[in-house]
Structure formats: structure tokens, C-alpha cells
Amino acid sequence: MMEILIICVSAIFVNNILLAQFLGVCPFLGVSNKLSTATGMSGAVCFVITLATLVTYLINAYLLVPLHLEFLQTIAFILVIASLVQMVEIVLKKVSPSLYQALGIFLPLITTNCAVLGVAITVVTKEFTFGGAAHMLGLGEALVYAVATSLGYGLAMILFAGLREHLAGNEVPAAFKGLPIALITVGIMAMAFLGFSGIV
Amino acid sequence: MSKWSLISKGFFKENPTFVLVLGMCPTLATTTSAINGLEMGLATLFVLVLSNIVISLIAPVVPDKVHIPVYIVVIATFVTVLQFVMQAYTPDAYQTLGLFIPLIVVNCIVLGRAEAFASKNGVWDSALDGIGIGLGFTLSLTAIGIVREILGSGSVFGWKFLAGDGILAFVMAPGAFLVLGYMMVLFNKLAKK
């Protein structure tokens, strides 16, 4: 139980995927103009990261490792993620049109969101030290890590979208307009998140 | 378009970092020092040139409906080749850049050039385009790396000119966003003139 808590706090606040690991920055800057789109994108990312981590973890453990094909990880994972996103899109359209309405337009963008591939690769290659000795994550821990990471993504995204909506109403010098001022704001946010680094 | 302008457009007019604003993740994550930025840029250049060449060759025979998956497989193949090459010849760089080497697959610059340029142009032009955009990316990353290294650790390319530590925040995450933001401002100012 304690370990799960540590994974969550560490993935959401301390090693926030956007503000500390720089994964998924392109869509972050792209869709954080409005709070509503930011919420939609966060939901879609959360869904896909969890599903993709589950599938790629199993493929790695039961297909690539027994056959000694670990070097194919990059190719295999990106193909799995791309087809998974397509499948999610088709299933969602059929099963839950209302959810598709909310998340649908973001799904194609997610294939090239490096957060998805990043988390999938991280959980199968990196050793973690959550509450004890360094070890590779088991399936359960990997899933907790994936969910917590995507919650961290959503948190940063929604906070930033809130800031950015206020920013839009302000006069900024011409050269700062658009992305530069957004990046500087994210920098200050990242500095605030550094404050969490002592917790775990 | 002349051969020279194919290469030189990446430096300023179509600079992938400051003008097209593509490939932000490696830009922010690997520019903790000048040498890291340079290595990341060269790694991307390698994949970009080879994938541009192959994609310009196969584009006429790839059916339109499946062209994106096919391009991604081509790019992923060259990324895997790059992983092997780096493990063999530059294991230290492979360690420092870590996750961001396999993540070249989802770098929008590579797929973007395949889609926007290589699929519509000849082999020779596509190779030059890859070199141009790749060099532009390498230059921007190295420039950001130099600024962050000077402010963060008081050195350039590992050559230390300040005693003691620099401002640690510039080597850490916030510095990446701040330096990139202010350099973009500078770039906008210069571009106006």
C-alpha cells in the first residue's frame, strides 16, 4: 500500500512527466489554449497511456523477451501504439458516442505523443527504487505508474490551461506573443514543482 | 530552389526549433550542456537524412491509405540502427541521452519532413533537405545547450571558466523552458529586422 502511494506521489508531483521529464510537450503547448480542450486531451492521454502500457508490457514480457528480440522494442511498441489508438477510436465511436465526442478529435494526435511511447519504454527498461531496493516494475506497479503519470500530465495541462486563459487577456510585448510567453510561464510552473522534490 | 538554399533554409528561414517549433521534447530535455545538445542534434540528423532518402525512393509505390504507418516503420528501423551504432561507438552518449534516442521515432520533425518534403521530391533533394533541417536542429540545440551550460555550470563544452557552481536551476527543468522561451523572443526580434 505504502509503495503504491510512493509511486503516485513520485509520478504525479516529483517527476511530473511534463515539467520534469519533458515528455509530450508538443501537444501540451498545442491544445492548452482553452481549459475545455485541455481537459479532453488529458482524458484521452490518460486512457491511451494506461492501455498502451498494459499491452506493450505484456508483449514485451511474453513475446519479445522469451524470443530475445528486445532490440525490436522501438519498432514493435510504436506499431502497437499506432494500431491501438486506431482501435480505440473505432471501438469508442461504436460503444460510447458521447465519450467519442469528447475525446475523439484528440485521439489521432496521440500516436505521435512521445509521452505514450516514453512511458511504455520506461516501464520495461528502467529500474525503479520505490520504497526499497532497485527493481524492475511488475505488471501491477507498471499500471499504477502509468495511471499516476497520466494524472500528472493532466494536472500540469489543466493548471497551465487555466493560466493561459488569463494570459490571453493581457498585453505582452510583440516578440513575447504566443509561444515564448507560454514557455516562460511553464518555466515558472516547473520551478514551483521543483518544491516537491524533497517529498519522496 | 537552388541546392544551397535547400540546406541553408534550416538555419534561419525554416529553423525547426524557433520557427516551425517542432521536436520540443528532445530540445528541452537534452540541452543540459552544449555537448549533449550537439549529440542529440547529430543523432536526429542521422535518422532524418536516411529516412528522407528511403522515403523519397519508396513514396511512388506506397498506397496512399497506409503511407503514415509505412513511413513510421521506416523511421523506427533507422532509429533501431542508430541505437546499435551508438551502443557500439558512443556508449557514453547513448547513456546520457537515454530514452530520447528511441523517442526520435515520434519526433515530429522526422515524420513532418517525410510527409511534407521527401514524399514529393527526388532522392538527392530529399537528402539535402534532411541535411539542412538536421543541421538547423543541431545548431539550435547546441546554442540552447551553450546558454544553459554557461548559466548553469559556468562552462562551455566542458571547459570550465568559472570557479564553483553556476545557477543550478538552469541545468534543471525550469531552466530549459525559460532559456528556450527567451531565446525564441530573441529570434523573433532578429527575424523582424
Which triple of cell numbers denotes residue B80? Answer: 533501431
Q: Smallest Cβ distance to B80: which of A19, A74, A193?
A: A74
Q: What are the pLDDT digits (tens) for B39-88?
A: 999 999 999 999 999 999 999 999 988 888 899 999 999 999 999 999 99
Give the pLDDT mean for B149-154: 90
Helices (H), B122-172: 123-153
* Total number of domains in chain B: 1
Domain containing residue B182:
3-192
Model confidence band, residue B20 (pLDDT cutoffs 50, 70, 90): confident
- Chain B residues with beta carbon closer than 8 angstroms to that of A181: 181
| Inter-chain CB proximity B173 and A26 less than 8 Å | no
CB–CB contact B177 A187 (8 Å): yes
Residue B156 touches partner A, C-beta closer than 8 Å: no
Q: Does B66 touch chain A (CB under 8 A)?
A: no
Chain A residues within an 8 Å CB radius of B174: 187-188, 190-191, 194
Q: List average pLDDT for each run of 10 residues in chain A, which is 200 residues long.
A: 85 90 85 83 87 93 90 90 85 82 73 86 83 78 92 93 87 86 92 84
Interval A157-173: pLDDT, tens:
999 999 988 888 888 88
Q: Are B16 and B22 in contact (CB under 8 A)?
A: yes
What is the model's pTM?
Answer: 0.89
What ipTM does the predicted assembly reach? 0.86
CA distance A36 to chain B (A): 23
- Cβ distance B44 to B107 under 8 Å? yes
Q: Which residues of A72-100 are buried (b: 16+ CB within 10 A; e: fewer)?
A: bbbbbbbebbbebbeebbeebeeeeeeeb
Region B5-25: what's the mean pLDDT? 85
Hey, is the C-beta of B193 within 8 angstroms of any chain A C-beta?
Answer: no
Separation in Å, CA A133 to CA A4, A141, B21:
15, 14, 41
E-only strand ranges, chain B? 155-156, 159-160
